[in-house]
Amino acid sequence: MKSALIVYGGWSGHEPEECAAIYRRWLHEDGYSVRTATETSAFADPSIHELSLIVPIFTMSKIEKDEIENLTKAVEGGVGLAGHHGGMSDAFRDAVDYQFMVGGQWVAHPGNIIDYTVDVADPLDPIMAGIKSFAYRSEQYYMHVDPSNQVLATTTFSGEHASWIEGVVMPVAWKRMHGKGRVFHSTLGHVAKEFEVREMATMMRRGMNWAARDE
């Protein structure tokens, strides 16, 4: 049986507990044994090297040196990593090893909650199969991203809220390798209700299962 660990906490505005409950339900339905933790100390546990998947939901906050070292080694060794929005790509801002692993870091969301479009960048990837461009309402994340990411979906900034980024095409979802580990990230999902958007949820659930190590 595949096994997963969800570690949630940090800034409460991203509703980490509610999002963790959604992931836990999905993973159970998809045949995983699941455990949860609410402290970053879980990342220092040697047993995480035996997992199939780790899901971080821990916006901002701090991570200790031994925790990030063990987490990155686990992923490099083959454990999958998947997550969404600031729970993954705005976690541990001072931990560059973590950002290197994730493949991106949030830096701005001009206009805050706005309407925008998510476009499919790689329609042939199984994660994106059958998904068309869709309207979305949330924070439109402006990211610093790794050029080695395989970009699956993008959004284009209108310039309405920051004129100098008009026309910038920004990754919304990507997958990548970190050592032997597969990493998936989506910048969508400011609050748990957004998981009700079919396209968003489909991408996230498929991406999570893609990232998980084969048993």
Whether pTM > 0.95 for this model: the answer is yes
> pLDDT for 68-82, tens place per residue?
999 999 999 999 999
Would you place residue 215 in the very low, low, confident or very high pLDDT band (cuts 50, 70, 90)?
A: confident
**Domains of the chain with CATH codes:** 2-211 (3.40.50.880)
Render pLDDT for 110-160 as a digit per residue (tens, 0 to 9).
Answer: 999 999 999 999 999 999 999 999 999 999 999 999 999 999 999 999 999
Predicted pLDDT at 163:
98
pLDDT tens across 33-68, in order?
999 999 999 999 999 999 999 999 999 999 999 999
How much of the chain exceeds pLDDT 90, in percent? Answer: 99
- DSSP string across 47-114: GGGG-SEEEEEEEB----HHHHHHHHHHHHTT-EEEEEHHHHHTB-TT-HHHHHHHTEEEEE-TTSEE
Contacts of 73 (CB under 8 A, 6+ apart): 49
CB neighbour class for 177 (10 Å; exposed up to 12, middle 13-18, buried from 19): middle
pLDDT score, position 116:
98
Average pLDDT for 184-204: 98
Q: Mean pLDDT across the stretch 14-28?
A: 98
Task: Give the CB-side neighbour count of residue 53, counting CA atoms within 13 A.
Answer: 32
